[in-house]
Structure 1
Amino acid sequence: MTGRSCFSAFLLLLITLEFITVMGVAQCGRIVANDVDRIQFALNLEFIEAEFFLNGALGMGLDAMAPSLAQGGPPPVGARRANLDGRTRRIIEEFGYQEIGHLRAIITNVRGFPRPQLNLSVEAFATMMNRAMNTTLSPPFNPYANTINFLLASYIIPYVGLVGYVGTIPNLVSSSNRQLAASLLAVEAGQDAVIRTLLYERANETVPPYRMTVANFTNRISELRNRLGMCGVKDEGLIVPLQLGAENRTTSNILSADVNSLSYSRTPLEILRIIYGTGNESRPGGFFPSGGSGRIARSLLR
């Protein structure tokens, strides 16, 4: 009996060590998933971008513009029309239409899932900004209040989708799926570059009523995403030290990239930690109060 108990304890120890090892690898390493699961995972980011851009520019989202793509999912909470200047409104409206195309392309090629519950409320963005700035902003940050606030809120989202595609493409088996992901990546990268350029033009301006500049906000948001992602520096603000600039020759950082000016990449686990705002891929929150959809996200919740 004693021998059996010792053997059982030893077996339990092996299982525990194996579990810890697997979780350690999964923390920042690759995950096991097929092409369909990987591309479908990107729908989570495409949904939030579509709803944020369409509502911000037009005051209406997928339910008005392309209801079939929502596939019966619940409407986003708190999304609204932003107080934008004319030029920015036209740009953001274009981005919204592009996201409709992205959703259609993914759903047509690899099927999809109903739009997950999204939280695009002032409170959700205010909470994220408070964490980034390591203080309680007063008044609370409102992404819909004006152009600069909306651009700062937009800074949070497309870049996460961009690095997600960079991380996904090398793991895709099918050449057609790689081509699809590369085409999606190209537009996501363009959107992020436009947003960063518009913000860089105002990098040294103070964001009213706060006593911090646009560059301060972007740096803090990038630092927060690095902390939440938990896998090193893969995000940089608009103004960086020379040692992080392109070829160590510039402090401007309109395109965030590594030492060889190549795009950073993130795994689905890192992305979920960021968009949940919890630093935990199994604990929903932030923009996805009920968690992301698709096999990858849902399996982690279980």
Structure 2
Amino acid sequence: MATSSLLFALFITILNIRMVMCASCGPIIANDEERIHVALNLEFLEAEFFLNGALGKGLDTIDPSLAAGGPLPVGAKKANLDALTNRIMEEFGYQEVGHLRAIITTIGGFPRPLLNLSTENFANIFDEAVGYKLAPPFDPYMNTVNYLLACYLIPYVGLVGYVGTIPNLVNYNSRKLVAGLLGVESGQDAVIRALLYEKANETVLPYNITVAEFSNHISQLRNRLAMCGIKDEGLIVPLQLGAENKTESNILSADANSVSYERTPQEILRIVYGTGSEYKPGGFFPSGGNGRIAKGFLAKD
């Protein structure tokens, strides 16, 4: 236990050092539309991953007008899911269609960005999370547990992004829109985390890694990529991070007062690009995100 506490303290120290060294953890100057457009990129990502995972088809079949002629996602396909999970993910997919429509009709949109939902991309992310190459490579579409772990990668990033966006919004309609989006995104993340927590101590085959350990690796990866401290926690945590320091269960990730963490646009881009830099695209967005903020960072690369 002492060793575990020492490692935890070392991890906190390293993150705090990186946060101090990072020149871009603070707010940026942007209007409501520009801030919400950062989230629109993630809504496209979620829509395509959930729809394809549950139905084997995406926006170009469900509502092509929302894609606005953007390129087809790379590698998205039907996942081998049990009936319950498939029904949940189908619902989530349709919810994301609604989110896209709500944003586009309220503030305007842009064409779907190029998305990489390939097995190879997920395998690279999971390799980076655990710190070595998994053998065989991680396949998010292989079974229910793998798909849920892959889902763990995505909605939470949008959730903390929305939490960070709302205080900076000026217009009532913008605040109303994002508050409504945040409510459903939070619910999606809670469902995914609860489904995974039920399996927390199960070993993910063929790897000698439990579901909870995978969640911790992924959360730590996102903290490292964002470079602005701990704003992401796995399913089982040290008591220091549990609710009121009294529980190691962590079905809902939150701060010391059980209030949701928040992230800035640049933190979000660092995570979904998988590069740790808002200036360098990659990961889920091989050509970068769309919108003024994302394009502005890319132009400075």
Whole-Å Cα distance in 1 between the matches of residues 64 and 168 of structure 2? 31
1:189 pairs with 2:186: yes
Among candidates 30, 34, 56, match of residue 33 of structure 1: 30
Aligned to 1:255: 252
Deviation sequence 1:14-33 (CA, Å, 0-9, x none): xxxxxxxxxx8851000000
> Does the 8 A contact of 2:22 with 2:228 survive in 1?
no
> Aligned residue for 2:220?
223
| TM-score, length of structure 2 as denominator length | 0.92
In the alignment, structure 1 residue 73 sits paired with structure 2 residue 70? yes
Instruction: Specify the alignment match of 2:92 in structure 1.
Output: 95
Deviations 1:50-89 (A, max 9, x none): 0000000000000000100000000100000000000000
Q: Distance in 2 between matches of 1:181 and 1:26?
A: 27
2:177 corresponding residue in structure 1: 180
Map 1:42-121 onto structure 2 (within 5 A). 42-121=39-118
TM-score, length-scaled by structure 1: 0.92
**Aligned counterpart, 1:294:** 291
Instruction: Give the distance between the partners of 2:240 and 2:165, measured in 1 at CA.
Output: 28
Work out whether residues 148 and 196 of structure 2, in 8 Å CA contact, stay in contact via their aligned partners in 1: yes
2:252 is equivalent to residue 236 of structure 1? no
Corresponding residue SS for 1:238? coil
Confirm whether residue 276 of structure 1 aligns to residue 273 of structure 2.
yes
User: Structure 1: any 5+ residue segments left out of the alignment?
Assistant: 1-23
Judged with a 3 Å threshold, the aligned counterparts in structure 2 of structure 1 residues 25 and 201 are, in CA distance, closer, same or farther, namely closer
Deviations 1:95-154 (Å, cap 9, x if unpaired)? 000000000000000000000000000000000000000010000000000000000000
Kindly report structure 1 stretches of 4+ aligned residues shifted beyond 3 Å: none
Deviation at 1:40, TM superposition (A): 1.5
How many pairs does the alignment contain? 280
Q: Hey, what's the Cα distance between the residues in 1 that align with 2:52 and 2:250?
A: 29
> Can you list the C-alpha shifts for 1:174-219, whole angstroms capped at 9, x where unaligned?
1111011000000000000000000000000000000000000000
Structure 2: gaps (5+ residues): 1-20
